[in-house]
Amino acid sequence: MSIHKSLNLGSGLSTARSVYTRRERLEILGESGDYVEGENPIGVRKVRTAFKTASKKQLKEAAKLVREEEAAVDAEAASAQRDVDAEFV
């Protein structure tokens, strides 16, 4: 009988953790001033480790907007250059 893949601990944690341990949280909250040394560490609020990344669709839309902005800047620069060239002719 084989072992279920979720029980295989040989490679360590395969997924990203969504929150820090209590010790890590106390260090982070202490740096930001939300926790003072000597307070009760039980019940300390959770701190996120990583935020969701953008989907492929969102990345494509962002890249499209950047290309459009670059095209507009290039067109404006070309128009300004034509105006300068027209003044000297």
The pLDDT of residue 19: 75
Per-residue pLDDT at 14: 57
Please answer whether residues 59 and 66 qualify as being in contact, where contact means their C-beta atoms are separated by less than 8 angstroms.
no
pLDDT of residue 82: 87
Residues with Cβ within 8 Å of 22's Cβ and at least 6 positions away in sequence, in order, are 41, 44
Alpha-carbon separation of residue 29 from 24, 45, 76 (angstroms): 9, 9, 48
Q: What is the pLDDT of residue 47?
A: 83
What is the predicted pLDDT for the residue at 68? 94
Would 5 be classed as within a structural domain?
no
Which residues of the chain carry a pLDDT beneath 50?
Answer: none
Is 68 found in the same domain as 39?
A: no
The identity of residue 25, as a single letter, is R
In this structure, are 65 and 45 located in the same domain? Answer: no
Statement to judge: residues 47 and 60 lie in one domain: no
In a domain, 81, yes or no: yes
pLDDT digits (tens, 9 = 90+) for 13-34: 556 677 788 888 899 899 988 8
48: containing domain: 15-52
Position 74 scores a pLDDT of 92
Instruction: Please answer whether residues 44 and 29 qualify as being in contact, where contact means their C-beta atoms are separated by less than 8 angstroms.
Output: yes
Give the Cα separation of 34 and 36 in Å (integer): 7
31 and 47, same structural domain?
yes
On whether residue 41 sits in a domain, the answer given is yes
